[in-house]
Amino acid sequence: MTNMTSTATTGTEQTTTPRHFDVIIIGTGSGNFIPNPAYHPVSIALIEEARFGGTCLNVGCIPTKMFVLAADAARNIREAARLGVHGTFDSVDLKQIQQRVFEKRVDPIADAGEAYRRGPKTPNIEVFDRHASFVGPRAIRTGQGEREEIITADNIILAAGSRAFIPPVVEESGVRYYTNKDIMRIEELPHEMIILGGGYIATEFAHVFSSFGVKVHVIVRSGAMLRGSDESISARFTEVASRDWDVHLNTTVTALSESDGTVTATLSDGTTLDADALLVATGRVPNGDRMNLAAGGVEMHADGRVKVDEFGRTTAEGVWALGDVSSPYQLKHIANHEAKVVFHNVLNQDNLRKFNHNYVPSAVFSHPQVGQVGMTEAEARAWAQANGTSITVKIQNIGDVAYGWALEDTDGFAKLIADRSTGRLLGAHFIGEQAATLVQQCIQMMNFDMDVREVVTGQHWIHPALPEVIENAILGLEFD
């Protein structure tokens, strides 16, 4: 591998030969997942224009789930009286929550991660903190502080992630709006909040802020929330969430204005809504469009993702991509998996590994919680028709197994979809208590190609634990 040279550069114009690295990595989310010790002899330029550590750590999975924990606590206090436990929900100390999440936990990890990469323990890595964009094949313009520099590499790994999509009606209105990047650091809790979007980010924040006592209005373009989920899950989620939030389905915002800190949204049905905060959660855009990819010969799909093959190779030789910038799945566990594959492949180009995108699971940490893997019922029916087979479907209410009965749960259920002839699970969908955890057993069954008829009889199911809902759901499936 190439030795890192220290060719000097000055000012904004680079007159010297670009410094050359073995690998340039753009983005420090999953891009910072550099396997050790295989990469110790490799010279690496690691580029991050924002806070070190990426979306999941700083403004995504981790802080949102820490906010959800506080929201669940607030909700539990309010609902405890039904169990004969009396207490009152007084208020939420937003500053204390923010300190716990950011000052005490997340920020120190991000700072330590950056210090480590800049420090003596990784002498092969040089960190750059300016925006990276292509100036030619395997040539990147970036920099550190005031210094701008063009650097080159044998291999470039694009791990640049995604950003919140801002609809034109918001962008063009000029009103103050929040996204996942700044809503968790808001100065004080608003009284009312308008949330645009019906996906998992919108619904997690709706749960957080409504549990904190904020009146939440959710504006959803389609006829249901979580519309990518199985239709029964999406319908039940919409029904349950609508009890807590002011949900506007089949609705768009046609105009926005702001006066004295109040945002007024005009909706497509002609009505207006006032709130003191507007949160935009209408999907995520891959960041490839901001990197002058054409100069590097890197092509994108029409939807903005960088084109990659099953090994993570882009259309440009020596340029690789992983995670939200290229993946069809904008999920951290998938970005991590793709990072492992790409980091292996860059060093082992005669022994490439493939991405495994089989049975990609996901969860929604809202109220109620959702956990899901595999085909929806509609997808499974279409698949069965195309393959000349048939499916069996069982919806098992959580309230009908012992632990769910103790919870007095009336909303949650598991929906299992299996191939009638082979006993293989095609889809598993959970809504309610522990949904994100319950689904993991089904992920295992699918990945290890298990026949659910053997799964149900071949092990003991703890009584009275919630996995009994899976046991009962399997027992309710009908096979040929």
Ligand X SMILES: Cc1cc2nc3c(=O)[nH]c(=O)nc-3n(C[C@H](O)[C@H](O)[C@H](O)COP(=O)(O)OP(=O)(O)OC[C@H]3O[C@@H](n4cnc5c(N)ncnc54)[C@H](O)[C@@H]3O)c2cc1C
- 80 vs 436, beta carbon nearer ligand X: 436
Q: Is 79 left (phi over 0), alpha (psi -120 to 50) or beta?
A: alpha
Rounded to 5 degrees, what angle do the CA atoms 86, 87, 93 make? 160
Cα separation, 77 vs 90, in Å, equals: 10
- 291 vs 469, beta carbon nearer ligand X: 291
User: φ and ψ at 327, to 5 degrees?
Assistant: -80, 145
Least CB distance to ligand X at residue 187 (A): 19
- 167 vs 399, beta carbon nearer ligand X: 167
Q: Is 244 left (phi over 0), alpha (psi -120 to 50) or beta?
A: alpha
Least CB distance to ligand X at residue 353 (A): 18
Nearest alpha carbon to residue 293 among 307, 281, 279, 280: 307
- 30 vs 396, beta carbon nearer ligand X: 30
- Residues in the chain, how many? 480
Kindly name the residue from 40, 191, 357, 463 that is annotated as catalytic: 463
Least CB distance to ligand X at residue 64 (A): 5
Least CB distance to ligand X at residue 365 (A): 6
Least CB distance to ligand X at residue 330 (A): 5
CB neighbour class for 162 (10 Å; exposed up to 12, middle 13-18, buried from 19): buried
- 47 vs 370, beta carbon nearer ligand X: 47
Least CB distance to ligand X at residue 260 (A): 29
Least CB distance to ligand X at residue 257 (A): 27
Place of tokens 């204390």: 96
Least CB distance to ligand X at residue 32 (A): 8
Residue 20 among the catalytic residues: no
Task: Tell me which amino acid residue 424 is.
Answer: R
- 55 vs 376, beta carbon nearer ligand X: 55
- 267 vs 436, beta carbon nearer ligand X: 436
- 205 vs 413, beta carbon nearer ligand X: 205
Cα separation, 270 vs 208, in Å, equals: 28
Contact residues: ligand X, CB under 6 A: 26-31, 47-50, 54-56, 60-61, 64, 131-133, 159-161, 180, 201, 287, 290-291, 323-325, 330-333, 335
Task: Give catalytic residues, as residue numbers.
Answer: 463
